[in-house]
């Protein structure tokens, strides 16, 4: 208690003394605070230290403004003792309770605290709900950040750590019966639901790495309802030095694996579009597998124009023709059927065409002069079967024979008539 000075008993001294008496009485009525209500403003010019124990009877209720210019310190005997608590008028339980150890407990004001915020360990704040948080994707969650009034980011986790020992963001589920997604994104905007901007340079640094030990389901599931785009689109930006790269790489690892490289099916009735459509910069398909399984080929600039398909059990058919081009010039075309009709021309007007051009044709014509002619042909071997027939009779036709041959050079045709000038057709075949 402060003792007022005596300023005299006459004149202004008497007036000032009376005023100080009234002020002293007012201060004595308010302090010390042992259960009263301070409805006037209390300005604390220095630290307010509570070193004793404040009971309910000693509660300090402030209904006016409190201006603190230094600090408020509460020293309690036990870490679990309440250092600060707040309520709304009519509450039966503290809405916010600060324990002496710094832990914060929150409640509705009518039931026990259901959420706590505490320093769980070094450099760690932990939120622990003791009741069920709402499952709503807008107002639920044990921690909810409502960012509607802000145009900036809702949550940012930033680091420039060069050698971290832990992940930057971790979502972990340790219950085998947990039946909800570990991370769930619900999005109705116009950008991407999830966007990953990867600037890593490590040889084992992927923008997205998915690994699963679940043998009962796919490691990655994707579904979409696109009308003009692929459900999955892979874009590889080439540099000219990426000959060993690929837009899609599949590795069927594991000793003894029997996994299929690519499995494509169309459930719920099947598709009417191509099962496979391959282009290479053009406007049309180079290769296409139609909905009916037909294998089609095109120039890449329009519709496909060649086709192969199964026409029956064990039968492959083409509605056009099959030609062996330059890619087969150095090889052989073999037919294995173990039947006398292993090679069949299936219609009455079908035939076999053999080119007569070049320096070593397998078929041609020659005209006899005085009953003989030499045919130069480098494809002739010692075993070549040479078939002769008169195409246009001339002079006095006779019987034709191969009178001589030189492997790798040619053969000679001779007639039994020395005046034979007929045109002779010849065919060369090799025994298998």
306 within some domain = yes
Measure the CA–CA gap between 379 and 362, rounded to whole angstroms: 8
Task: State pTM to two decimals.
Answer: 0.64
Q: What is the mean pLDDT of residues 261-282?
A: 94
190 within some domain = no
DSSP state of 148: T
Measure the CA–CA gap between 369 and 387, rounded to whole angstroms: 19
Q: What is the mean pLDDT of residues 79-99?
A: 95
Residue 320 predicted with pLDDT over 70: yes
Expressed as residue numbers, the domain containing 408 is 363-429
285 within some domain = yes
Residue 340: per-residue pLDDT:
84
* Measured torsion, CA atoms of residues 215, 220, 225, 227, in degrees rounded to the nearest 10: -120
The helix/strand/coil state of 19 is helix
DSSP state of 2: P
Element (H, E) at 118: strand 115-121
How would DSSP label each residue in 239-303? -SS-TT--SS-----STT----S------TT--SS-SEEE-SSSSS-SEEE-TTS-EEE--SSSS
Task: Answer for the pair 319, 347: CB distance below 8 angstroms, yes or no.
Answer: no
Residue 386's alpha-carbon distances to 383, 392, 397, 413, 424, in angstroms, are: 9, 19, 19, 10, 12
Residue that is written with structure tokens 């009376």 in the block: 18
420 within some domain = yes
Residue 132 predicted with pLDDT over 60: yes
Residue 53: per-residue pLDDT:
53
Specify the pairing of strand 363-367 against strand 115-121: unpaired
Element (H, E) at 152: none
Count the neighbouring beta carbons within 10 Å of the beta carbon of residue 379.
15
402 within some domain = yes
Confidence class for position 263, pLDDT limits 50, 70, 90? very high
135, two tokens: 């499952």
Measure the CA–CA gap between 415 and 394, rounded to whole angstroms: 11
Measure the CA–CA gap between 274 and 289, rounded to whole angstroms: 6
202 within some domain = no
What do you get for the CA distance between the two ends of the chain, in Å? 129
Residue 396 predicted with pLDDT over 70: yes
385 within some domain = yes
Number of domains in the chain: 2
Measure the CA–CA gap between 370 and 414, rounded to whole angstroms: 9
Residue 189's alpha-carbon distances to 195, 228, 360, 417, in angstroms, are: 13, 19, 71, 96
Mean pLDDT lowest for which of 5-9, 108-112, 149-153, 224-228?
5-9
Task: Kindly report the backbone phi and psi dihedral angles of residue 429, in degrees, each rounded to the nearest multiple of 5, phi listed first.
Answer: -130, 150
DSSP state of 85: E
The residue ranking higher by pLDDT, 347 or 291, is 291
Query: If you average pLDDT over every residue of the chain, what do you get?
Result: 87
Measure the CA–CA gap between 239 and 53, rounded to whole angstroms: 75
Beta-bridge partner residues of 121: 124
Q: What count of residues does the chain have?
A: 432
Final residue of a structural domain among 311, 339, 373: 311
> CA angle, corner 68, sides to 64 and 70, nearest 5?
165
Residue 264: per-residue pLDDT:
94
Q: What is the pLDDT of residues 183-224, one digit of tens each?
A: 999 999 999 999 999 999 989 999 999 999 999 999 999 999
Residue 58: per-residue pLDDT:
47
How would DSSP label each residue in 199-249? ----TT--S-------TTS-S-------SSS-SS-------SS-TT--SS-
Measure the CA–CA gap between 39 and 57, rounded to whole angstroms: 17
Residue 107 predicted with pLDDT over 90: yes
Residue 343: per-residue pLDDT:
82
153 within some domain = no
Measure the CA–CA gap between 159 and 169, rounded to whole angstroms: 11
Q: What is the pLDDT of residues 273-293, one digit of tens each?
A: 999 999 999 999 999 999 999
Task: Kindly report the backbone phi and psi dihedral angles of residue 74, in degrees, each rounded to the nearest multiple of 5, phi listed first.
Answer: -125, 120
Q: Residues 6 or more apart from 298 whose CB is under 8 A from it?
A: 284, 285, 286, 287, 288, 304, 305, 306
Q: What is the mean pLDDT of residues 398-427?
A: 97
Q: What is the mean pLDDT of residues 14-36?
A: 64
């Amino acid at each position: 208690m402060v003792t007022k000075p005596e300023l005299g008993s006459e004149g202004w001294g008497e007036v000032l003394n009376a005023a100080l008496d009234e002020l002293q009485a007012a201060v004595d009525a308010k302090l010390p605070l042992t259960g009263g209500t301070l409805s006037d403003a209390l300005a604390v010019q220095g630290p307010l230290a509570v070193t004793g124990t404040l009971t309910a009877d000693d509660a300090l209720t402030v209904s006016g403004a409190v201006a603190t210019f230094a600090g408020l310190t509460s020293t309690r005997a036990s870490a679990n003792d309440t250092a600060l608590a707040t309520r709304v008028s009519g509450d039966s339980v503290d809405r916010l309770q600060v324990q002496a150890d710094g832990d914060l407990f929150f409640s509705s004001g009518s039931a026990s605290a259901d959420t706590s915020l505490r320093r769980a360990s070094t450099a760690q704040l932990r939120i622990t709900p003791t009741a069920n948080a709402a499952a709503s994707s807008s107002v639920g969650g044990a921690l909810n950040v409502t960012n509607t009034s802000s145009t900036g980011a809702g949550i940012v986790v930033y680091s420039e750590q060069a050698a971290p020992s832990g992940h930057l963001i971790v979502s972990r589920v340790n219950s085998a019966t947990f039946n909800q997604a570990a991370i769930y994104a619900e999005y109705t905007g116009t950008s991407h639901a999830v966007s990953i901007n990867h600037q890593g340079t490590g040889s084992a640094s992927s923008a997205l790495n998915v690994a699963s030990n679940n043998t009962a389901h796919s490691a990655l599931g994707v579904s979409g309802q696109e009308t003009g785009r692929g459900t999955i689109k892979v874009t590889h930006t080439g540099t000219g030095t990426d000959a060993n790269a690929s837009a899609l790489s599949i590795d069927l690892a594991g000793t003894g694996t029997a996994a299929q490289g690519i499995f494509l099916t169309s459930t719920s009735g099947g598709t009417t579009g191509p099962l496979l459509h391959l282009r290479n910069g053009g406007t049309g398909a180079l290769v296409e597998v139609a909905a009916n399984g037909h294998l089609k080929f095109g120039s890449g600039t329009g519709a496909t124009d060649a086709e192969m398909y199964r026409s029956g059990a064990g039968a492959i058919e083409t509605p056009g023709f099959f030609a062996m081009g330059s890619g087969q010039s150095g090889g052989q075309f073999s037919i294995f059927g173990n039947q006398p009709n292993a090679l069949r021309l299936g219609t009455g007007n079908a035939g076999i065409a053999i080119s007569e051009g070049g320096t070593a044709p397998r078929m041609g014509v020659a005209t006899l002069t005085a009953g003989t002619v030499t045919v130069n042909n480098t494809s002739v071997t010692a075993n070549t079967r040479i078939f002769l027939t008169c195409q246009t009779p001339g002079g006095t036709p006779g019987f034709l024979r191969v009178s001589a041959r030189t492997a790798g050079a040619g053969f000679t045709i001779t007639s039994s008539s020395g005046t034979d000038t007929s045109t002779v057709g010849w065919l060369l075949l090799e025994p298998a």
